Each structure stands twice: as C-alpha cells, then as structure tokens.
Amino acid sequence: MTADHAGDSTQKSVQGHAEKQTACTDSDALPSSQCANTVTATFDNKGVLWITWANNDHLYVQSSLDNGVSFSSPTLVNADPEPVIAKGEYRPKIKLDAQGNIYLTWTNKLDKPHSGNIRFSRSIDGGKHFSEPVTLNDNLEIISHRFDSLAVGKNGEILVAWLDARDGQTAKKAGQTFEGSSLYYTWSDDGGKHFYPNKRIAAHTCQCCRLDTAINNANLPVIVWRHIFEGGIRDHGINRFTDWSTPGDIQHLGHENWKIDACPHHGPGLSISDTDSYHAVWFSNSDTQQGLFYAYSNDAGEHFSEPLNFGNDGASHPHVLAVGDRVMIVWQEFDGSHNLIQLMKSVDAGKSWTKPEVIAQTTEMIDEPFLISDGRKFYLSWHPQQQTYHLKPIDE
C-alpha cells in the first residue's frame, strides 16, 4: 500500500470520497477499515501484521502476511452490536502473546455523556473466532470508565488499566468534592479466562488523556498517565508495579508544572527496550515549557534525563518506540494545508537525535500516527480518514 496520492484528479477524488461515505453509512455494505476513524496495529512474534478497527457498532480484526499489502477478510468480534468509541486517543487496542493468542480491549459508549464500560475479547484460534465480550470494570454505574490501556506479559499475563469516575461519584454522593478521575486496573494470569477484582493505582488523574503501559525486563507493568498533582498541576505520573497484583509508588515524570483546570486531551507515550531503558514522550503547555518532550531512563525509571523539547508550534500526539539502542518518535503537525507526520531517530538510546523529517503527509484528516516493529524493522502505522490504511517501513 502506498501513501502517494499524487495523480488523482479532483473529480475522481471527490467521486471516490462520496462513494466511500455512502458505503460507510450503509449497514448492509461489506465492512471496511476505510470506514473506520481509527486503525490499531501490531505484529505477532512470527511477523504477521494484525489490525483492529470499528464501524457501525462492530469491532473487526484482520491480518496481513505481506506487511499490509493485502489483508484477510475481516473477522467480526462482537456479534451483538454495541457503540464502540474509536476516535483519536480513544481507540480499541490489540495485543498478542507468545502463543499467538489475540487480546482486544475497547470502550463501549453508554447513554450518558462521557460514560462507558471497558470491554474485552480474545481469540485462541488464530483470529478465526473471538469470545463473547465481557465488561472488565466491576463498577457498573453509568459513569466514565474510559481510555483503556492494554499490556501483555512474557508469560501471557494480561493487564488492562483505565480512567475511572467511581471515586468522584462516591464523593459526589457524600457531598464532597473530588478532583479529576482515578486510575484503575485489572489483570489475568490465565489468558483472559478470568480477571482479578479491580484495584486503584492512583486517585486524582486527568480525565481525558490516554494512558500507556509497557512491560519491563522484569516482566512487570509500567504505566504512565497525566496526573493531577498538588496545587492543580497536571504533569505526568509513572508507576512501576512490584508484582502483577501490586502497583508501586507514584513518581513524577517531567516537571513542567502546568497548572490548568481542564483536560488537555494529550496523553503520554512509553516504550521500554530489550535493554531495559525507558523512553517517554509527552505534551505540556505550561507558562515556561511548551510543546512536546522526550526523556529516557537507564535505571528502570528511577530518574529520567533532562527532557528534550521537540516539534514545531502545534505539534501533538507523540509516540515513541525503542528496540535495543534504536529509538524513534513520530508526531503530528499541520503546515496550513497538509497534515504532516514527523519523525526523529536515535541510534544511541536517546542520547542524540536526527533532525525531524516529514515521512507522510495528506490534505485529509488523519488518525494519530503510531510506530510498530516486527522486532527487526520499524514501521509507521497511519490512517487517512476514508482512505486505505497505510503501513510504511522506515529507513534506518
């Protein structure tokens, strides 16, 4: 698949767009990822590409043996339709374990504004069939359980974390105030057959920013999120689990001291390399430090390097991926006429970086860009809305 749109006449472009719009709103049309607002991708340990996307209240999964040139027919995940939230930082997730079992999470939109449930399904037959979806949040009030993050351990452990409004709801019923949301999680040690009761990682988190979870070399989860620190400071927190049942202490990641009584809708990203170096990216707009930031840690997250400020004005939604000493960062920018995807590379574990370069652009609206790897090469995963999903190999 190619990201080159040159040579399409305006007439063909408009006609094609109209045809896709019609197909995407027709419940009888064949399901297509072109109709999805988001496409989430990952590789399994055999180099097979897997994607998941939602359309018309259904979630689908496809695989590709040729790095996205062609795909299998879509497999339906949820037989019963349900509103699936799939927009920006608010998207279905897909991960596989070493045995090739496929795990999915997503948010089911409920009747009240900003409310939802965290849903889970799995396939143990290579994506041919998926289990009936289950709700992972054990609080079933029609309130916010949203912005899920999915991670799979080396032995098949599954951890799902999300932002949860139950503590704020309890406080409200008691006539008390509660700032922000809370960060909750559950986990499974039997491949998703059962999940342990929900536990809280942190109270007072930002309500509408994505989380990110990575697995360290000790095979334990590490979570980053936007936290509400004392004084209304909405910087980022990091938590390293001491075991799968026990979160650690909340630590400060980045110290921009951004005081804001609102949610910026910009969550952090985290990647942990096979050498156990931590690489984090985030956004801030404090009085003294604005834009995108990157930092690394070589002591398992105890301390991070002086943050590197990168990107032009308006840069947003960074994503980082590390494999050994190779690290890459992608993010979005708008130059007045085109949506740009920018890239920086490092070959020395984040100590030095190449100059930013544009690796994809379009006049269409785009989904957020992500980096994925098959263990050897890096790929850009991106999706112009109402167009074909793109997987682009990145030259190193």
**How wide is the angle at C-alpha 320 spanned by C-alphas 317 and 322, nearest 5°?**
175
Q: Which of 382, 384, 335, 369 lies closest to 17 in space, CA to CA?
A: 384
Per-residue pLDDT band at 22 (split at 50, 70, 90)? low
Q: Which residues are CB-neighbours of 393 under 8 A, at least 6 positions away?
A: 67, 377, 378, 379
Give CA–CA dist 17/323, Å, rounded.
38
Tens digits of residue pLDDT in 344-384: 999 999 999 999 999 999 999 999 999 999 999 999 999 99
pLDDT at 88: 86
Question: Would you say 183 and 161 are in contact if contact means Cβ atoms under 8 Å apart?
Answer: yes
Cα atoms in the 13 Å half-sphere on the side-chain side of 351: 5
pLDDT at 19: 47
pLDDT at 41: 98
Range 142-170 average pLDDT = 97
pLDDT at 376: 93
CA 161 to chain centre: 12
Range 229-253 average pLDDT = 97
Per-residue pLDDT band at 23 (split at 50, 70, 90)? low
pLDDT at 21: 52
CA distances from 40 to 106, 294, 339, 368 (A): 11, 23, 19, 10
Give CA–CA dist 13/8, Å, rounded.
6
CA 214 to chain centre: 11
- DSSP for 139-165 reads --SSS-EEEEEEEE-TTS-EEEEEEE-
Whether 14 has a pLDDT exceeding 80, the answer reads: no
pLDDT at 253: 94
Whether 283 has a pLDDT exceeding 70, the answer reads: yes
Q: Which residues are CB-neighbours of 117 under 8 A, at least 6 positions away?
A: 107, 108, 110, 135, 136, 137, 140, 145
Whether 25 has a pLDDT exceeding 80, the answer reads: no
Per-residue pLDDT band at 166 (split at 50, 70, 90)? very high
Give CA–CA dist 335/40, Å, rounded.
25
**How wide is the angle at C-alpha 179 spanned by C-alphas 175 and 182, nearest 5°?**
105
Tens digits of residue pLDDT in 212-224: 999 999 999 999 9
Whether 15 has a pLDDT exceeding 60, the answer reads: no
Whether 6 has a pLDDT exceeding 50, the answer reads: no
Q: What is the DSSP letter of 171?
A: H
Whether 189 has a pLDDT exceeding 90, the answer reads: yes
Tens digits of residue pLDDT in 118-148: 999 999 999 999 999 999 999 999 999 999 9
Q: What is the DSSP letter of 74?
A: P
Whether 24 has a pLDDT exceeding 50, the answer reads: yes
| All structural domains of the chain with their residue ranges | 81-393
Cα atoms in the 13 Å half-sphere on the side-chain side of 5: 16
Tens digits of residue pLDDT in 291-325: 999 999 999 999 999 999 999 999 999 999 999 99
Cα radius of gyration rounded to whole Å, the chain: 20
pLDDT at 18: 45
Task: Report domain 81-393's class.
Answer: mainly beta
Question: Would you say 383 and 366 are in contact if contact means Cβ atoms under 8 Å apart?
Answer: yes
Per-residue pLDDT band at 4 (split at 50, 70, 90)? very low
Q: How would you class 32 by CB atoms within 10 Å of its CB: exposed for 0-12, middle for 13-18, buried for 19 or more? A: middle
pLDDT at 30: 83
Q: Helices then strands (H, E): number in the chain?
A: 2, 28
Whether 68 has a pLDDT exceeding 90, the answer reads: yes
Question: Would you say 41 and 381 are in contact if contact means Cβ atoms under 8 Å apart?
Answer: yes
Give CA–CA dist 37/236, Å, rounded.
27
CA distances from 36 to 28, 167, 206, 275, 396 (A): 16, 33, 27, 36, 30
Residue type, 394: I
CA 2 to chain centre: 23
pLDDT at 250: 96
Q: Which of 211, 207, 158, 164 lies closest to 186 in space, CA to CA?
A: 158
Give CA–CA dist 390/396, Å, rounded.
19
Q: Which residues are CB-neighbours of 218 under 8 A, at least 6 positions away?
A: none
Give CA–CA dist 185/158, Å, rounded.
11
Q: Which residues pair with 10 in a beta bridge?
A: none
Per-residue pLDDT band at 70 (split at 50, 70, 90)? very high
Q: Which residues are CB-neighbours of 193 under 8 A, at least 6 positions away?
A: none
Q: N- to C-terminal Cα distance for the chain?
A: 20
With tokens 């032995």, the residue in question is 155
Whether 7 has a pLDDT exceeding 60, the answer reads: no
